[in-house]
């Protein structure tokens, strides 16, 4: 009873503090209810260089846009401002009512305002799988990423985890300006920066370090730059040495996500700080739906980053396998999809008495207490409960005591929650079958009871077996960790697909990397055998993104003079398009994955370090591209932070951007050729000759001039011209997408640009 009284008293105190806070803003009760955070963009006066002023001077100018409050003072106005942006744009985030925003629109210099969005969050073996080996190769050449600073925007970090030990890591570069909000025992030469932007705005007294209460940020950080930790495993599986892609790189965590997601006002504030702090690489495993770039805070912040030479890596999203499902599509961002590795946490479902009647699956929870030798009654969830039971929703199952239950994925229920429902209803184990859209793409997850996740095809056969006999039985067999899936890498079904909605003339995603069943650091123990070195295995483009961020850090260490676009080009033009069996990379159907699933292909770090040629793009080169998107001058200024007059700029079509790939639209009955140019820079031997190799897309004609590139100097640039023309009947044979490649090859290098063609009906 005393405890309940204490909780009630605390709730009353919190309510009282909240009321007093809103009173201090000069707000009545009705206005308090409509108050929300808006991101406001403004235009700096031509006569004043706002960005050369102090932070205080900039914020004072921002305050001039705020409404007059009942209690009118600078202190109350300041408490309205959540974040004042300095580096990523001219604007601020503030607590406002819709009526106040309407009034603000009349003020000189106002550009736009919109409510803050909440964005969702989107390895013991992967270094080996990617060809990174201790003591030689790319790791040795780059000294494991030493001297490079990776900034991660996420849920915080489990400081003190062995993955963030600074053993072997030198002090940060002198240019580093950031700070670490943890105490001195947790900050070190590895974790050099840690800031919390969740609830850290003006008017909020919370000032806590970026502790990770979720796990996501600890996992992504250690994937990008975790140090070597021997004996890592989860439930005894995937045992080995855990290490990130750039183990001697420095880390800076910017906490922008909490239980409810990631507020884009906080994201923008964190990017603002990271640019000023001096990071070299930014890694964001989060994102929302497709937006025009001038409305997308990640695209806006990323442009500010690349202007400072900062490489920017983002998750493609987890909305696959549907087309046009991408996040983070701007061409100055590396957009990363997810693929498998050749490691499988294998389990099997065996039905009936026939040992040959079994189906491969995956599971992280491979219980030693479960007797796999004993057959148990098998039931289909759809026939043992209410109408929601097929997907094993909470409270939907009955009469399953001591049985193995076949559940279907989907239905708005997580796979973990399905297992919890089976256990609640007394089930002994679970077989989880895919929906048709996910095909053969299964996941190893930590369930609360013995489980195996099987394909859609396997699930259909198991359902057929159940309906064919009066007493169906099954066993679940656990096979442990198996290395050697010849079909790896496979594109994960959840990995978002192109084409890009925001800019169809840019091929996205750019690249795929390991994102399925990835072992990395976790802030708390997930099994009883773990002590201080706690790890977890999870999946998503959130996991593939930090792999690419860490690889970019290695390339930055090896080539400090390369621009972000040059690093991206090196990654894309050297990507693998074949699996370990030497066949084209497949998708969740086990059929060749198309170009909107793979982008350029699967990352090959060692080849990316020595690409031969690169397609480079400077920040100013994006302005003609943005004008070509028919953005207004003001919209482009929001992105570039400089005055742009498109009528004085020679706008270009999207596909004319000097990108390492091509994405072409062909309309039905189109007979005119499309002409594009590309410029490549020689970063290989001074004397180099490259010849042309073309795989011309279906129903298309192509010509390239010249067909040979001869270089005599390092960093020499040469330009070539490409013509695309549709053949008769293009797009009328039921094939809406076609793909190919343009490859420059020498005796040492293959520099490949993928080509996507979309046939549109008129």
> Residues with catalytic annotation?
154, 216, 542
Cα 64 to Cα 340: distance, rounded to the nearest angstrom: 52
16 is written with which tokens?
């009282």
Distances (CA, A) of 302 to 17, 81, 331, 540: 37, 23, 10, 22
562 is written with which tokens?
């390369």
Q: Which helix (H) or strand (E) segment is 56 a member of? A: helix 55-63
Cα 412 to Cα 322: distance, rounded to the nearest angstrom: 17
Categorise residue 270: left if φ over 0, alpha if ψ from -120 to 50, beta otherwise.
alpha
220 is written with which tokens?
């992504």
Categorise residue 501: left if φ over 0, alpha if ψ from -120 to 50, beta otherwise.
alpha
Block residue for tokens 């202007």: 307
415 is written with which tokens?
């796979």
Peptide bond into 254 cis (omega under 30): no
Cα 559 to Cα 138: distance, rounded to the nearest angstrom: 12
- Per DSSP, 449 falls in state S
Cα 588 to Cα 460: distance, rounded to the nearest angstrom: 16
Q: What are the DSSP calls for 329-378, one per residue?
A: --TTSEEEEEE--SEEEEEEEEETT-TT-EEEEE-S---SSS-TTS-EEE
Block residue for tokens 């940060």: 172
Cα 178 to Cα 251: distance, rounded to the nearest angstrom: 11
Q: Which helix (H) or strand (E) segment is 745 a member of? A: strand 737-745
Q: Which helix (H) or strand (E) segment is 230 a member of? A: strand 229-234
Phi–psi pair at 121, nearest 5 degrees = -75, 130
Categorise residue 483: left if φ over 0, alpha if ψ from -120 to 50, beta otherwise.
beta
Provide the pairing of β-strand 451-454 with 429-433: parallel
Phi–psi pair at 514, nearest 5 degrees = -55, 125
Q: What are the DSSP calls for 86-132, one per residue?
A: SSS-SEEEEEE-HHHHHHHTTSTTEEEEEEPPEEPB---SHHHHTT-
Cα 281 to Cα 246: distance, rounded to the nearest angstrom: 11
Cα 118 to Cα 286: distance, rounded to the nearest angstrom: 10
Distances (CA, A) of 475 to 355, 374, 403, 414: 10, 7, 10, 23
Residues in the chain, total = 762
Laid out side by side, the sheet with 311-315 consists of 191-196, 250-255, 149-154, 281-284, 311-315, 334-339, 511-514
Distances (CA, A) of 504 to 173, 557, 619: 40, 33, 20
Phi–psi pair at 459, nearest 5 degrees = -60, -40
675 is written with which tokens?
């002409």
Cα 267 to Cα 273: distance, rounded to the nearest angstrom: 10
Sheet strands (E) in 620-714: 662-667, 674-682, 688-695, 700-705, 708-711
3-state secondary structure 170-200: CCCCCCCCCCECCCCCCCCCCEEEEEECCCC
- Least Cα distance to 572 among 510, 616, 490, 618 occurs for 510
Cα 297 to Cα 271: distance, rounded to the nearest angstrom: 10
752 is written with which tokens?
């490949």
């Amino acid at each position: 009873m005393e405890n309940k009284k204490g909780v009630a008293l605390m709730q009353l105190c919190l309510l009282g503090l909240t009321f007093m806070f809103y009173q201090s803003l000069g707000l009545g009760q009705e206005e308090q209810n409509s108050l929300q955070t808006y991101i406001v963009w403004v235009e700096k006066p031509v006569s004043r260089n706002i960005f050369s002023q102090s932070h205080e001077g900039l914020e004072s100018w921002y305050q001039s846009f705020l409404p007059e409050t009942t209690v009118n003072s600078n202190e109350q106005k300041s408490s309205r401002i959540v974040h004042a942006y300095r580096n990523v744009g001219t604007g601020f985030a503030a607590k406002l009512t819709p009526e106040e925003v309407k009034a603000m629109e009349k003020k000189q210099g106002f550009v736009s305002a919109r409510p803050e969005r909440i964005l969702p969050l989107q390895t013991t073996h992967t270094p080996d799988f990617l060809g990174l080996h201790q003591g030689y190769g790319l790791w040795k050449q780059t000294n494991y990423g030493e001297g490079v600073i990776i900034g991660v925007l996420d849920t915080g970090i489990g400081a003190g985890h062995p993955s963030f030990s600074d053993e072997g890591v030198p002090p940060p570069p002198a240019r580093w300006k950031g700070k670490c909000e943890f105490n001195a025992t947790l900050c070190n030469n590895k974790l050099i920066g840690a800031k919390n932007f969740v609830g850290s705005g003006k008017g909020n007294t919370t000032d806590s370090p970026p502790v990770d209460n979720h796990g996501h940020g600890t996992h992504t950080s250690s994937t990008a730059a975790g140090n070597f930790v021997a004996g890592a495993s989860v439930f005894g599986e995937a045992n080995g040495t855990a290490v990130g892609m750039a183990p001697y790189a420095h880390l800076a965590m910017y906490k922008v996500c909490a239980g409810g997601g990631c507020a884009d006002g906080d994201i923008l504030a964190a990017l603002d700080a990271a640019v000023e702090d001096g990071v070299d690489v930014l890694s964001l495993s989060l994102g929302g739906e497709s937006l025009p770039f001038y409305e997308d805070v990640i695209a806006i912040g990323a442009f500010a980053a690349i202007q400072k030479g900062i490489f920017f890596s983002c998750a493609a999203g987890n909305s696959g396998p549907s087309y046009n499902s991408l996040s983070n599509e701007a061409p100055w961002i590396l957009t990363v999809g997810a693929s498998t590795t050749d490691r499988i946490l294998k389990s099997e479902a065996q039905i009936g008495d026939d040992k040959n009647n079994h189906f491969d699956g995956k599971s992280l929870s491979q219980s030693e207490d479960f007797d796999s030798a004993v057959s148990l009654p098998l039931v289909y969830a759809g026939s043992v409960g209410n109408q929601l039971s097929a997907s094993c929703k909470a409270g939907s199952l009955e009469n399953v005591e001591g049985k193995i239950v076949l559940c279907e994925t989907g239905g708005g229920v997580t796979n973990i929650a399905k297992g919890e429902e089976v256990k609640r209803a007394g089930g002994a184990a679970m077989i989880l079958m895919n929906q048709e859209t996910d095909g053969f793409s299964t996941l190893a997850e930590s369930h609360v009871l013995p489980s195996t996740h099987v394909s859609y095809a396997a699930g259909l056969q198991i359902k057929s077996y159940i309906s064919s006999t009066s007493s169906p039985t099954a066993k679940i067999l656990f096979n442990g960790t198996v290395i050697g899936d010849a079909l790896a890498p496979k594109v994960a079904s959840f990995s978002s697909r192109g084409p890009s909605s925001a800019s169809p003339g840019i091929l996205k995603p750019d690249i795929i990397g390991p994102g399925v069943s990835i072992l990395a650091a976790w802030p708390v123990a997930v099994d009883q055998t773990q002590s201080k070195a706690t790890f977890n295995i999870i999946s998503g483009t959130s996991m593939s993104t930090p792999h690419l961020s860490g690889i970019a850090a290695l390339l930055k260490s090896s080539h400090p003079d390369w621009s972000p676009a040059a690093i991206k080009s090196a990654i894309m033009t050297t990507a693998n398009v074949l699996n370990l069996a030497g066949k084209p990379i497949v998708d969740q159907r086990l059929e060749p994955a198309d170009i909107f699933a793979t982008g350029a292909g699967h990352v090959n770090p060692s080849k990316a370090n020595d690409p031969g040629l690169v397609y480079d793009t400077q920040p100013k080169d994006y302005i003609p591209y943005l004008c070509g998107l028919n953005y207004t001058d003001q919209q482009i200024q929001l992105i570039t932070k400089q005055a742009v007059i498109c009528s004085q700029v020679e706008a270009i079509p999207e596909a004319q951007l000097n990108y390492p790939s091509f994405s072409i639209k062909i309309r039905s009955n189109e007979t005119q050729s499309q002409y594009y140019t590309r410029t490549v820079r020689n970063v290989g031997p001074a004397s180099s000759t490259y010849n042309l190799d073309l795989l011309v897309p279906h129903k298309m004609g192509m010509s390239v001039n010249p067909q040979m590139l001869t270089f005599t100097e390092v960093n020499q640039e040469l330009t070539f011209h490409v013509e695309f023309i549709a053949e008769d009947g293009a797009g009328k044979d039921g094939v809406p997408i076609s793909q190919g490649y343009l490859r420059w090859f020498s005796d040492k290098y293959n520099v490949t640009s993928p080509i996507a063609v979309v046939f549109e009906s008129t």
